[in-house]
Amino acid sequence: MSRVAVVTGAARGIGAATVRGLAAAGWAVVAVDRASDDPRLPYSMGTEAELRAVVASSLAVPPDSGAPHRDTARVVAHVADTTDADALGAAVSLAEEQFGGLDAMVAVAGVIAGGVPLWEMPGDELGAVLGVDLGGPITAARVGIPALLRRPAPRNGRFLAVASAAASRGLPKLAAYGAAKAGVAGLVRGLAVELADTGITANAVSPGSTATAILEESARLYGLGDTRSFADQQPIRRLLTPEEVAAVLVWLAAPASGALTGAVIPVDGGLSL
């Protein structure tokens, strides 16, 4: 029987790569995204067309790949604001009704804003960063963990979230973003203790500069022409790919990661050194 995941922020970037990675590993996935712009933010969010394309690519298994056959019943798109408990709860219900339960809740959705000192940051942008980057994972935990607990014991449930190198490294003009991502680190540590003896673990990954729309917006906020200068800050001297971060999330979602909980794993090309 396939394990079942809900993944937020699934239309592009790390979320999209996570959906594809889980699907390739034989998971059933509900791919969730807002799929519309946020009026509080000055850059474009993922679209419903991108979300549908992620689902389609997740189902496109090469005939000689050796991967198990999947059809449209195994990866589905669901449009929802990940800060809305009712909307995100509907995605969890879909996973339970269509696939029989939930084994991993993966909170990837994120945004960025700033480019000015915190005290000059517009209130709507501040609310978006704190609401999506910290409120989103909290909402995912509140609606997802009860479903994880509904799996009969012994279970191998996983709550996963995406923090950032900004959670542990002060970045100028991104104080709110860093605060939200530090909150994600505290969230998984607290959940790990609360979930003791349940068979469910809580962990996060902390990416460095990754080739995503958020990094492109970061370059704009810093007045940079492109994202290449971010690569020089990382010892590997290149940007990470979304697939590299997603590969760690896919491993964390698997039963083999059961000895790890309350951890924030740096997937950052050495940026945190």
| Local structure of residue 240 (DSSP, 8 states) | B
Respond yes or no: is residue 222 known to be catalytic: no
Count CA atoms closer than 13 A to 63's CA, side-chain side: 0
What number of CA atoms fall less than 13 Å from residue 183's CA on the CB side?
16
Q: What angle do CA 212, 206, 240 make, to 5 degrees?
A: 40
DSSP string, 110-130: -----SS-GGGS-HHHHHHHH
Q: Minimal CA–CA distance to 270: which of 244, 235, 242?
A: 235
CA-based radius of gyration for the chain: 18
Please give the torsion angle defined by the CA atoms of residues 101, 53, 141 and 212, in that order, rounded to the nearest 10 degrees: 150
| Catalytic residue, candidates 27, 99, 177, 230 | 177
Q: Name the percent of the chain in helix, strand, coil, to the closest 5.
A: 45, 15, 40
Active site (catalytic) residues: 177
